[in-house]
Amino acid sequence: MKYCPNCGQEVKEGAKFCPKCGSDLSQVTLKQETTTDQTESQKTEFNASEPVELILEQAEGLNMTRAEMKNEAQRKLSGRYGEWFKSILWAIVGIIISSLLVIVASGQMSAGFVKIALYRLYGGTDSQFGTGLLIFFWLIILIAAIIALFLIGCLLNAVMQWCAIFTLKGQRADGLKVFNYFVKAQKNRVLKANILISLYQFFWSLLFIIPGIVKQASYVMTNLILEKNPELSASEAINQSRKMMHGYKLEFLILQYSFFFWRIVAGVTYGLADFYVLPYQNVTQMAFLEVLYQKYQD
C-alpha cells in the first residue's frame, strides 16, 4: 500500500492525487524512484571500480589475552631453556667485553689529553708526540668497541626473535646456527634489515625518545615477515611490518612493558635472570606477532 507523504492518507495504486488533501502524487513518486535509482547506481559503481581495503580489527579482536600468550610461551619453552643458553651467554660476554673496552679507551684518552695539557704548560715535544699516538690508538679502539656494541644489539634482537620463531615451531633454537643461517641462506637480508631498524630507531629516538619507542613497535614484525616471505627484501619487509602493526602498536607496547618487573630482576642479578627472561619475553612477543600475522592474512 502507498500513503500520501503530506497527510498520511492511504491511496490506491496509480492514483495521481491524494483523495484527502489533493496533493500531486505523481511528482513525489517520480522523485523517490529517481533517488533510489541513483543510490543503486552509486553502489554498483563503487563495488565494480574501487578495491576492497583490508581493515584490521582493533587489538582486542585478536581473541587472545596477554595471559594466554604468556602461558603458551611457557608451554613451548618447557624443558627447552637450555637451547637458548649459548646464544645469551655469547651475547652477554660480547657486551661485557665491548663495554669494558669503551670504558678503558675513554679513560686512556682522557689521561692522554691531561698529559698533553701538562706538556704544553711545562714544555717537551717527544712525550707529547708519543701521547698523541696513544690517544689515536685508543680512539680507534673506542670506535671499534662502540660499533661492536651496536652490532651486538642488532644481532641479539634478530637472533632472539628467530630463536622464538623456531621455538614456536617446535624446532631447536640454536643461536649460532641461526646466525649462520642469516649469513648463508638468507643472503644477509636479515642482517641488513635489523641494522636498518636499529638506525631508524636511533634517529627517531633523537626526537625526545618516544618516537623511537613507537617506531620500535612499527618494525617489530620484520623478522617474522622475512621468515615467512623469502622473496622479500629487507626494506620491503620493514614497510610490510609498518602496515601490519598499524592499530596494534599500543597493544604490543603494553605486552612488552608487562615484562618490566622481569627486566628489573635481570638488572639486579647482573644479567643472570636473562637466561630465563629473554626466552620467555621473546617467545611471548612472537606468539602475539604470529596471531596478528595470521589475522592479517585472513
- The answer to whether the beta carbons of residues 283 and 73 sit under 8 Å apart is yes
- Using alpha carbons only, what angle is made at residue 31 by residues 29 and 34, rounded to the nearest 5 degrees? 110
Determine the residue type at 122: Y
16 exposure class (CB count in 10 Å sphere: 0-12, 13-18, 19+): exposed
Determine how β-strand 2-3 pairs with β-strand 10-11: antiparallel
11 pairs with which residues across the strands? 2
* Grid cell digits, residue 169: 615451531
Task: Give per-residue pLDDT as tens, 234-253.
Answer: 999 999 999 999 888 988 98
Q: Picking from 115-124, 147-156, 203-212, which range would have the lowest pLDDT averaged per residue?
A: 115-124
> For a pLDDT cut of 70, what percent of the chain falls above it?
77
* Cα–Cα dist 96/272, whole Å: 13
Determine the residue type at 51: P
Q: What is the mean pLDDT of residues 168-187?
A: 79
pTM reported for the whole predicted model: 0.68
214 exposure class (CB count in 10 Å sphere: 0-12, 13-18, 19+): middle
In the prediction, which pLDDT does 240 show? 93
Task: Give per-residue pLDDT as tens, 278-293.
Answer: 999 999 999 999 888 8
